[in-house]
Structure formats: C-alpha cells, structure tokens
Amino acid sequence: MSLTAFLKENVANPYEEVEFVVSDRFKDEDGNPIAWKLRAMSPDNALLASDRATSVVGGKADFKTNDYFKNVVTESVIYPNLRDKELQDSYGVMDPKDLLNKMLNSREFNKLLSKCMAINGLNKDFDDLKTEVKN
C-alpha cells in the first residue's frame, strides 16, 4: 500500500464551500435570494467551538449547548463575513454571535444551524456513528 494517496496534492479539499440560502429576505439587486457560503471547520476550530462553550464552575465543567451551536455556525459561515465591522455596525453589535441573533429569526437560525451541523458531520446520532465505524 502506497502513501501517495495521502499526499496533499492527491487529496480532495476538505474545506469545500457550500452555498446555502438561509432566508429569502436577503436579496441581490435583481431580487434573487443571496446564498450564504459555508465550509466545514478545521479540527482546531471545532475544538475551539467546544472549548468556548465550556466553563468550569465549582470544579465541574459546565457545557452551554446554545453557545456551542452559535460557535459552530460562526466558525462555519464564511459569507457574509460575520466579523465584518460594517456589517456588525449596521446591526449595532460587536460580536458574530450577536450579529446572527439580530440578522436571523429563530426559523432561519435553526435552518442555518442544521446545515452547519451537517457539513461538519455533527448531525449524526450514536447509532449512525457506530454503523460508520463498522463499515
């Protein structure tokens, strides 16, 4: 068995962009819905998303699921740039998570979250993962 298949130049891009229409409220100059661009997180960013949602309280880890979900989304969205000052100023916020809260209603956020979870492989339950490992 050769290592050639594992060389960088022979491997598909793990961070392919996915276009996804989150809401028809965001339209281009012709009135067409604008697709957001998403991509899977790097392993480092995936761990950061989890770490940023975890705090230690009284010697016990406290995991905030809502913070984790927001972190997954903010790390997966590449367009629009949720860290863009002009965009944040437009909504009167200074943080990507706050921006999402102002830009989207709950239905839109849940739709975006579901897509971000899927492209990061986080939409599988334990039985799905067991089946994948067996194959």
Tokens for 16?
Answer: 């392919």
pLDDT in tens, 83-130: 999 999 999 999 999 999 999 999 999 999 999 999 999 986 655 544
Q: How sure is the predictor about 2, in pLDDT bands with cuts at 50, 70 and 90?
A: confident
Are 61 and 68 contacting, i.e. CB atoms less than 8 angstroms apart? no
On the question of pLDDT at 133 being above 60, the answer is no
Q: What is the pTM of this model?
A: 0.84
With CA atoms as reference, report the closest residue to 119 among 19, 4, 48.
Answer: 19
DSSP H/E element including 78: strand 77-79
What does the alpha-carbon distance between residue 75 and residue 77 come to, in Å, rounded to a whole number? 6
Average pLDDT over residues 51-55: 95
What does the alpha-carbon distance between residue 49 and residue 69 come to, in Å, rounded to a whole number? 8
What does the alpha-carbon distance between residue 55 and residue 59 come to, in Å, rounded to a whole number? 10
